[in-house]
Chain A
């Protein structure tokens, strides 16, 4: 059974810092990996999707990498801002999506 682990569970940084969120998964037989953002009490917003054949994807200040063979992905956020404060979820897709518990990020002004 696929298991997804996210480290750290929570992270607090001052504005402007670059940061890395980590995601690991136990079964490398995946179609893709997605990073989502979830604001308190709200649904999920898709940030980046990396197909299993890709190594990384970039969108603005966000860069996600995928090493399928080792079962790892990282989400890099450059020049963090208070508006980046949210919970970031990693999910891997086989027949269905399996989610991690998320990393709760707080960026202070």
Chain B
């Protein structure tokens, strides 16, 4: 059983607020990922990290930022939330970037009013 956690699970917030979505894993994985998923649509990679102090932008352009100060923690921040940021955000981790399964957290469903 994978141990990857996301908080909050649901968040409703007003336009202009700063928010941080938390993701942590207890498996010691070096690789971590953030995906964005709109209803009925495919997951799109928005950020990834191959280790501490390493972050890269994914395939889908996003106004969010990430940090990786500790191996187990990969938070995502939106400085000023807008209704266009309404979506589900999924965090994942894997032992290696290429050959291993990615383990997913339960997701955060964000609604910006």
The minimal Cβ–Cβ distance linking A101 to chain B, given in whole angstroms, is: 5
Q: How many A-B residue pairs have CB under 8 A?
A: 57
> Could you give, for residues 93-111 of chain B, a 1 whenever the CB lies within 8 Å of some chain A CB and a 0 otherwise?
0000111111111110100
- B54-80 CB mask vs A (1 if < 8 Å, else 0) is 000011000000000000000000000
What are the residues of chain A within 8 A of B45 when measuring CB–CB? 96-97
What band does the interface of chain A fall in when counting residues whose beta carbon is under 8 Å from B?
20 to 34
Closest partner residue, chain B, to A102 (CB atom): B42
In the complex, what residue of chain A is closest to B44 when comparing beta carbons?
A99
**Interface band, chain B:** 20 to 34
Which of B40, B42, B98, B101 is close to A99, meaning CB atoms less than 8 Å apart? B42
Main secondary structure of the interface of A (DSSP, over half): strand
Contact present for B109 and A41 (CB under 8 Å): yes
A100 interface residue (CB < 8 Å to B): yes
Most chain B beta-carbon neighbours within 10 Å: one of A46, A49, A101: A46
- For A44, give its contact among B44, B48, B90 (CB under 8 Å): B90
Q: Which residue of A lies closest to B56 (CB)?
A: A96
> In the complex the two chains form, is B101's CB within 8 Å of A101's CB?
no
**B13 contacts chain A at the CB level, 8 A cutoff:** no
User: A100, B106: Cβ atoms under 8 Å?
Assistant: no
| Nearest CB in chain A to that of B98: its residue | A31
Residue from the list B33, B58, B98, B102 in contact with A46, Cβ < 8 A? B102
Contact for B103 among A31, A46, A91, A96, CB less than 8 A:
A46
Q: Which residue of B lies closest to A42 (CB)?
A: B106
Complex Cα distance A4/B102, Å? 18
Chain A residues near B107 (CB-CB < 8 A): 41-43
A-B contacts, 12 of them at CB < 8 A, read: A41-B107, A42-B107, A44-B92, A89-B43, A91-B43, A93-B99, A95-B97, A96-B59, A97-B33, A97-B45, A101-B41, A102-B42
Given A95-B97, A96-B48, 4 further pairs, Cβ under 8 A: A43-B6, A51-B99, A97-B45, A101-B40
